Structure 1
């Protein structure tokens, strides 16, 4: 079991060996009796129908119920493969080829270990640096969190210019991937790189290059603030944001300072201090230029924080300003990563703002649009877990559905958000709020109890130790 469980690390559901090896499961798989397979998984693992549906993907809890009752069946190879992958049933048991997750780590290793010490000929340097930051340096690999710093240290022999370029590459890499990696792990890795960059800055860097290195240190500090926020380490996040702000001012780069203030505003928002959140977002807008991603994101943050205070007029004004600001963004502006703003008919966080003002049906419509537009199957999940943006959008949808009185849809959205076992602080804050609303508005209901159980299971996992950005509800 250990090997199979290790290979499926990150999947939301894996049936245990005791069930997989049982006569009942083997007989059901041999004849593809999916009613019995689903019934066994449901009863023997204690997994709810919603969790089973989310594990398979593209399936509702009501359909799982229909399959267990025998009202519907499973047809088509693609769906059968999804069932095998969702439950962790080896392909041969269902008459399928071996599933991708059945491959051993050795079987997947294709790189020549002897060639790891040099940049391959003909490979783009930026791609090589990014890849080097994410993989081991060989059999005697540095502990996780030190690999990128180790690569950076090796490049130091080529001079400040080489390290400066490598830092830029790494910042781009982390800006794109920080929200799809476990916060605690990415924090450790960023800290190691930031330490190396700090040592470089403390050395005799020529004046012409010092500003660039200072700016890189600032961006790394800003990323550390984001990772600390996702871990719920608020004191550390505040310190890193302060360092990023200082570097931004020292290097004459107000957009960096603006992003640091955005993270502080976000923390205040999720801590339930909306007026402080509005004030921090307004400070950021005052120092950033309209028509930049930072300024647009700060306006949208003001919008949802104003909604939390109940100020519908300020929310509407900020929403209009955000639309104007986003229209000014250059065509070359990136729409991916933490230092970006997602394009759309409405500014990011509109659905959240509508929900907070009690406009629940409007919030349902807006969130449905975000989920359809920004989260296709390939972006919903990372390593078997819902992406953070997708999970938060589902929780906003759940809160909005609860506000309309639709218990089943609210609970389904909550289960979709918590289908994996990764937890970051903002997501768990929303998940707790949905639990409170369901227990207040639908006390004693079985779906409410099911969601509470799932929330408590996920809440037991230390925040940030197990698991993108995209459209924002």
Structure 2
């Protein structure tokens, strides 16, 4: 029987792309296949026999030309044991060619949820009660500053590593803030704590969204809205709705995404939203229209986003949560909106330009944007460039824990289907399996 204790190493891509190897596989001339594998990959007959569930004598007879291998189950064992892609041997795609993390996943079932009007609807409320019993008096200014500093640190780490690992800390901070809020005596302190709690609830929802756990994300986004509404923070309500609009585009609910984005703009206008805020919200609307392939509406929203961005001044009282929407972000989001509309020739140079300017520490953003660039290049028939770009994206993707990143990788991988036999696609897939194997084993990445 073939070895199953661990996955056998893959053959060098240069061997799999070697015309002699391709020809030998195509006619199932295993004498030549085995000799090429021995010569170029150092896999000797005894190893071939062990990997493929054959006897050494049988392998020797095949290599000497005294025996042929024609049974389908034997050919499949050779493909799996030597890691020869199925298409080279006229077989269906082998299971090992698609890493489990990229396998198609069923959509999370949607559940009707009631808005969490009370804290008791949130997970772990017994911890809240314990903390509330321990808290005394109103928080002093240093406590509030520490909470705000923590939030800024969470934003940074979220970009660098993804939100999943941060969630326990963010949730704990949120519960602690809620306990302080219940004990706060001064109205000014309460308002400050409501603002902190609203952002921590939004950030918790964001970590669930990044993990594609959409029901939990909605629960915390809704709680963030409730907290912001309590102190009539219209601008922050717009921010939360923008997050919910983006989530709706990921859930293939573009109609909801449009409604949330336009409602967010209404709330922002009610609070005299700054040009940067309005530019960001117009971009969310553009994404939603682009998902619906409404070209006229999408282009109008993009133009409005650009117009608002051009009105930004250094003196604008921008809230801290919108600082991320800088010029590279405007450019890359404009490119992605065009890509969603199928306008790859417009999208490609925009995304390329933004990637050159983007902060290299923002691993998740760079992974997203690189996969979008690869997809636009593939749409334009630039297979080699697309695979090269996607291979570069793997470096950023492997640095974060984010189901959304994995989703973008999965989509690009699916788009490669018509090109599986091309050398560039085979090289990318080999590198992809190598990176994912290193991630799963915990071994150092090459």
TM superposition score category, shorter chain reference: 0.5 to 0.7
Alignment partner, residue 377 of structure 2: 401
Q: Which residue of 1 aligns with 2:414?
A: 436
Aligned to 1:412: 388
Query: What displacement does 1:300 show?
Result: 0.5
Partner Cα distance (1:161, 1:252) in 2: 22
C-alpha displacement at 1:219, in angstroms?
1.0
Query: Cα offset for 1:232?
Result: 1.8
Change (3 A) 1:154 1:181: farther
Q: Is 1:283 aligned with 2:263?
A: yes
Give CA-to-partner distance per residue, 1:228-269, whole Å, 9 cap, x none. Answer: 211222112111111111111111211211111111111121
CA distance in structure 1 between the partners assigned to 2:173 and 2:438 by the alignment? 27
Change beyond 3 A, Cα 1:459–1:308: farther
* Post-superposition CA distance 1:13-32 (Å, at most 9, x none): xxxxxxxxxxxxxxxxxxxx
**8 Å contact from structure 1 (residues 274, 306) kept in 2:** yes
Task: Mark the CA change 1:363 to 1:199 in structure 2 (over 3 Å): closer, same or farther.
Answer: same
- 1:298 corresponds to: 281
Residue equivalent to 1:448 = 425
* Structure 1 equivalent of residue 348 of structure 2: 364
Distance 1:202 1:411 in 2: 54
Gap change, CA 1:156 and 1:363, over 3 Å in 2: farther
Structure 1 residue 168, shift from structure 2 partner: 2.0
> Which residue of structure 2 lines up, in the alignment, with residue 29 of structure 1?
none
- Which residue number in structure 1 is paired with residue 60 of structure 2? none
Change beyond 3 A, Cα 1:434–1:193 = same
SS in structure 2 at match of 1:288: helix
CA contact (8 A) 1:259 1:339 kept: no
Q: Trace 1:313-352 onto structure 2 (pairs within 5 A).
A: 313-332=296-315, 340-343=324-327, 347-352=331-336
User: Which residue matches 1:258?
Assistant: 238
Q: Greater shift after overlay, 350-359 or 332-341?
A: 332-341
CA distance in 2, matches of 1:456, 1:270: 26
1:238 pairs, out of 218, 230, 254, with 218
Rounded to whole Å, the distance in 2 between the matches of 1:48 and 1:394 is 23
Q: In 2, Cα distance between the equivalents of 1:345 and 1:459? A: 28
Structure-1 separation of matches of 2:146 and 2:327: 29
Q: Corresponding residue for 1:267?
A: 247
The counterpart of 1:424, out of the listed 395, 398, 402, is 402
Structure 1 residues 298, 158: closer, same or farther in 2, change over 3 A? closer
Q: Describe how 1:46-445 pairs up with structure 2 within 5 A.
A: 159-289=139-269, 290-332=273-315, 340-343=324-327, 347-374=331-358, 379-381=359-361, 387-419=363-395, 420-421=397-398, 422-440=400-418, 442-445=419-422
Which one has a bigger Cα radius of gyration? 2
Quote the offset at 1:162 in angstroms: 2.9
Deviation at 1:414, TM superposition (A): 1.1
Q: Secondary structure at the match of 1:447?
A: helix
TM-fit CA distance, 1:381: 4.4
The answer as to whether partners of 1:435 and 1:455 remain within 8 angstroms in 2 is: no
Of structures 1 and 2, the one with the larger relative CO (CA 8 A, separation 6+) is: 1
Displacement of 1:327 in angstroms is 2.3
**Alpha-carbon distance, 1:156 to partner:** 7.9
Task: Decide whether the 8 Å contact of 2:139 with 2:189 is kept in 1.
Answer: no
Distance 1:351 1:336, change over 3 A: farther
Cα distance, 1:399 vs. partner? Answer: 0.6
Per-residue CA distance 1:134-167 (angstroms, 9 max, x = gap): xxxxxxxxxxxxxxxxxxx999899433322222
* 1:213 Cα deviation after fit: 0.8
| Aligned-partner Cα distance in 2 for 1:161–1:443 | 60
C-alpha distance 292-461 of structure 1, shift in aligned 2 (>3 A): farther
How far off is 1:341 after superposition?
1.0
Which one is further off, 257-266 or 289-298?
289-298
CA-based RMSD of the aligned residues comes to 3.4
Range 175-184 or range 404-413, more displaced: 175-184
Q: 1:224 to 1:46 in 2, by over 3 A?
A: farther
Task: Name the CA shift for 1:257/1:158 in 2 (closer, same or farther; >3 Å).
Answer: closer
- SS of the residue corresponding to residue 349 of structure 1 reads helix
- 8 Å CA contact 1:398–1:410 kept in 2: the answer is yes
Contact 2:261 2:284 in 1 (8 A): yes
Aligned length: 311
Specify whether residues 159 and 197 from structure 1 end up closer, same or farther in structure 2 by C-alpha distance, changes over 3 A only: closer
CA contact (8 A) 1:48 1:450 kept: yes
Report the CA distance between 1:368 and its aligned residue: 1.2
- Structure 2 distance, partners of 1:409, 1:320, is 30
Mapped to 1, the partners of 2:364 and 2:290 lie a distance apart of: 22
Which consecutive residues of structure 1, in runs of 5 or more, have no partner in the other structure? Answer: 1-42, 50-152, 466-473
